[in-house]
Structure 1
Amino acid sequence: MKFTSLIAYASLISAASASAVPKVSDSSTNSSTVIGDATILNFLLIFENLENALYTGALGSFTQDDFINDGLPTWSRGRFEQISAHEQAIVASLSDAVGSNAIQACNYSLPYTSPSSFTELAEFISGVSVAAHLGVSQYNTNSETATIAASVLSTKARHAAWIAAPVNKHNAWSGAFDTPLSFNVAYTLAAQYMSGCPSTNPSLPFTAYPSLTIANATAGQSAAVSAASNVTIEGQYIAFFSGLSTTFVQVQEGQVVIPNDSMGISYAVLTSSKSLADDSTIMAGVAAVQVDFNSYGLRE
């Protein structure tokens, strides 16, 4: 599976049903919601459990010969074994920190069929996980929780860069700053892979948005926008999250112009505002938009 097709797949996110994803409260998380340490760590466990399942499943399915025969470097599977061990340790550490209220792993639907399609999916999910960890960092008020989360974040950023560059021959970064994602934006990206969770999991105040797709994205050019059938897109705005910046572009005739300075991956949501993209304005999401660039920093 090519990276561009994976991104297209990743943008086809359906609204998550209550039975398919971790139990959520009736209201979305917003800036006025009080987020405690246990909720923060459980939010991070959503992504750690997902990644743990991804690596464990793929390594259990594909041998060293499978990796080599699929054109991957001879050393790649061994490194993925190390990453898998890291994920298991992170899950155990976060779960221990939360205690008896720690969420348990869900069932997952992970669309890989070969070692190379696994590494492409691992690149995307690891990048989303970094963005999720970065986005919640502002809520860490407990020094112990903040230290755990920061230590995990730095390791995960190394994982994401290694998978992208040496393994998949893609860009290891999108710019000078990584992109932080808010709770519900990040949760929407994870929820698409969840097919069922334990009923004993604690209720968490996160919810997934209706689906949004942006097809054939090229910097400076128009791309087709579509959303769930109950969402009006015409005249609304697409907010592109890239690094620490957000760019708003109006949807006109079902099209949106991709920001001319786009490079690497950005995350897009449909919003009713031309200057605000939060839970009060976001109507649908999240589409992942990839604009490749070469080793000289020039778009391809």
Structure 2
Amino acid sequence: MRTTTLIAYASLIGAVSAIVVPEARSSSTIDDTALLNYALTFENLENALYSGALSSFSQDDFVNDGLPTWSRGRFEQISAHEQTIVGLLSSTVGSSAMQACDYSFPYTSPSSFTELAELISGVTVAAYLGAAQYITNKDFLTTAASVLSTKARHAAWIAAPVNKHNAWSGAFDTPLSLNAAYTLAAQYITGCPSSNPSLPVSTYPSLTIANASAGQAAAVTAANNVTTEGQYVAFFSGLSTTFVQVQGGQVVIPSGSMGISYAVLTNSNSTADDSTITAGVAVVQIDFNSNGIRE
């Protein structure tokens, strides 16, 4: 059973002070070019994550940290995939393509890298799912679907054989809105080239849900002095959303929670979108065993 936000995860391995959420230069235009650059934001992030870890840790480092002997080789293949995807998206967009930013990843060992890779790869899958509705060019949609299916394979492999977690949370993956997914990714971006195009996104104040367990109360806090009391936490899981009111600084985790869900704070008990969300996004993971029983 694990619960975290990407910032909270960083604090577990001692690097939270290096994490900065940049202010998004928001654009209201959601067209195919903007969506490709949105995808490039995640691809550049993952490209930097994998290439940086592989340059930092040797095969012996992976094995000595208790990871499977074959794991580093597979990560080399994933890293090569990321380079290929970045190249394809960049060439498609052309001169206005989103360039790589500066990043700060809080891993300190191969195993902490694989935990972080599991989180970020899952967020990227959720980002592609959420953005699919806006794509108008059918060729772009087919390409995005091809990339998405490969990235879901990456995420499942990292979660299951490498980290010994669950490869899925249920029958459906969870889509995240542009702002929600970007809020999670942006926590690892410390700065970007001034020439980069603006994106149709903005970030939320961070949300933390501590020590979550299905059916149990967990403490809720939000950054920027955002009040949590009396508001609602919306839990996104698959294609379903569950709203639970915050009372006494705590929220009861939905009793049926299994695997990964994403949570935001909202002032509505029935709507969780950019007009109602006041903080987010917390990543809640409740593990279950091979028989589908929560651990």
TM-score by length of 1: 0.92
- Corresponding residue number in structure 2 for 1:292: 287
Instruction: Give matches, 1:1-300, under 5 Å.
Output: 9-10=8-9, 16-18=21-23, 23-25=24-26, 34-300=29-295
Question: How far is 1:148 from its partner?
Answer: 1.1
Counterpart-to-counterpart distance in 1, 2:7 and 2:168: 19
Question: How far is 1:139 from its partner?
Answer: 1.1
Total equivalences in the alignment: 289
**CA pair 34-104 structure 1, distance change in 2 beyond 3 A:** closer
Counterpart-to-counterpart distance in 2, 1:147 and 1:229: 40
Question: How far is 1:4 from its partner?
Answer: 5.2
User: One-letter code of the match for 2:8?
Assistant: Y
Counterpart-to-counterpart distance in 1, 2:85 and 2:169: 26
Counterpart-to-counterpart distance in 2, 1:96 and 1:162: 28
Q: Which runs of 5+ in 2 are unaligned?
A: none
Percent of residue pairs identical? 74
User: One-letter code of the match for 1:16?
Assistant: V
Q: Conserved in 2, the CA contact under 8 Å of 1:11 and 1:213?
A: no
Q: Conserved in 2, the CA contact under 8 Å of 1:15 and 1:210?
A: no
Question: How far is 1:3 from its partner?
Answer: 6.0
SS in 2 for 1:223: strand
User: One-letter code of the match for 2:182?
Assistant: Y
Question: How far is 1:34 from its partner?
Answer: 5.0
Superposed CA deviations along residues 98-130 of structure 1, whole A, max 9, x for unmatched, are 111111011111010111111111011000000
Counterpart-to-counterpart distance in 1, 2:272 and 2:224: 21
Superposed CA deviations along residues 170-192 of structure 1, whole A, max 9, x for unmatched, are 10000000000000000000010
Counterpart-to-counterpart distance in 1, 2:195 and 2:112: 33
Counterpart-to-counterpart distance in 2, 1:16 and 1:51: 17
Counterpart-to-counterpart distance in 2, 1:80 and 1:93: 20
**CA pair 15-176 structure 1, distance change in 2 beyond 3 A:** same
Alignment RMSD, CA only?
Answer: 1.9
Superposed CA deviations along residues 32-51 of structure 1, whole A, max 9, x for unmatched, are x6521111111111110010
Q: Which runs of 5+ in 1 are unaligned?
A: 28-32
Q: Conserved in 1, the CA contact under 8 Å of 2:4 and 2:210?
A: no
SS in 1 for 2:209: strand
After the TM superposition, which segments of 4 or more aligned residues of structure 1 sit over 6 Å from their partners? 5-8, 11-15
Counterpart-to-counterpart distance in 1, 2:8 and 2:130: 23
Counterpart-to-counterpart distance in 2, 1:138 and 1:247: 22
Question: How far is 1:144 from its partner?
Answer: 1.1
SS in 2 for 1:268: strand
Counterpart-to-counterpart distance in 2, 1:174 and 1:101: 37
Superposed CA deviations along residues 224-278 of structure 1, whole A, max 9, x for unmatched, are 0001142111100000000000000000010000000100010000000000000
Counterpart-to-counterpart distance in 1, 2:148 and 2:157: 14
SS in 2 for 1:207: coil
TM-score by length of 2: 0.94
Superposed CA deviations along residues 125-155 of structure 1, whole A, max 9, x for unmatched, are 0000000011111111111110110110000
Counterpart-to-counterpart distance in 2, 1:245 and 1:3: 21
Question: How far is 1:11 from its partner?
Answer: 8.9
SS in 2 for 1:173: coil
Counterpart-to-counterpart distance in 2, 1:175 and 1:10: 23
**CA pair 16-6 structure 1, distance change in 2 beyond 3 A:** closer
